[in-house]
Amino acid sequence: MAHDVFVSHSVKDKAVAEAIVARLEAESVTCWIAPRDVVPGADWGESIIDAIESSRIMILIFSRSADASSQIKREVERAVNKGVYIIPFRVDDIPPTRSLEYFISTSQWMDAFSPPLEPHLDNLAKTVTAVLKRPPLPAATVPAQPERPPIPKPLTCPPSSRKSILIPVAIAILMIVAAAGWYLGHPHGKPQPKMSDMEWDTDRLGADYAGFSLPTDNPKQCEDACRSDERCRSWTYVKPNTIRGPKPMCYLKSAIPPRQDNPSCVSGTKSQ
């Protein structure tokens, strides 16, 4: 059975996990959580793999216990391989280990380590419902390479017909040369897309398809990256030494998620 959300958590974070499930199911979001949803007698590992692959979103409750858990790393790795949308819900203010950071470095985190928990649950529910309203991204496919056609043998023409063929060929060449000269002599180029004003202290959470660090603390570099990428519809810049570590980060998005207040971020959109 398919579920909307798979909740990945350490057993030590059971209380937080159950609070998340209760809040999401109050919004009619179907959740899968162990051990509640493991069928009695079923193989534990197989049940978890099936649940991850049939879910739209994984909520990773990131804590010290989760960061040290090899089981959590396997669950996150499976979600990444299957294209499941991951939302790290951070309940401890610590950086992830390198093995876990490798899989979630492009995901935008939700910090929930400052009490009380209820406002963080409300923000999480809003994010989950917004993601679920969007159609799932199609799986990437690689088209098969067509067979190379055989090289045709050159046709030979009788001497009497060569002159009649050469005349239209020469005319066609002259027309191509004239068109090329006109093209080079006139200004041309694709118009630059229109970007919105920078949205200071604003996050647009979700729809990430690329995330990378920037050399300087300048949101204009993130805006320029979105402008030059045809796939980009919006962007979010995360300030250094805030929620994503010591380096400034840029996230490019294939859609325009709703705005959220966040003093650590700068965002913007692109008209298409």
The sign one gets for the Cα dihedral 172, 177, 179, 180 is positive
pLDDT tops 90 at residue 183: no
pLDDT of residue 44: 92
Residue 87 near residue 132 (C-beta atoms within 8 A):
no
Alpha helices in the chain (DSSP H): 14-25, 44-53, 64-67, 70-81, 98-104, 118-133, 159-185, 219-227
Hunting for tokens 């998340």 — which residue is that? 20
Give whichever of 28-37, 131-140, 203-212 has the largest mean pLDDT: 28-37
The span from the CA of 152 to the CA of 37, in Å, is 64
- pLDDT tens digits for range 71-87: 999 999 999 999 999 99
- Cα separation, 34 vs 7, in Å, equals 8
pLDDT at 231 over 80: yes
Instruction: Give the burial class of 22: count Cβ atoms within 10 A of its Cβ; 0-12 exposed, 13-18 middle, 19 or more buried.
Output: exposed
**Mean pLDDT, to the nearest integer, of 176-204?**
73
**Two structure tokens written together for 121:** 């649950």
At position 215, the amino acid (one-letter code) is: P
The answer to whether the pTM exceeds 0.75 is no
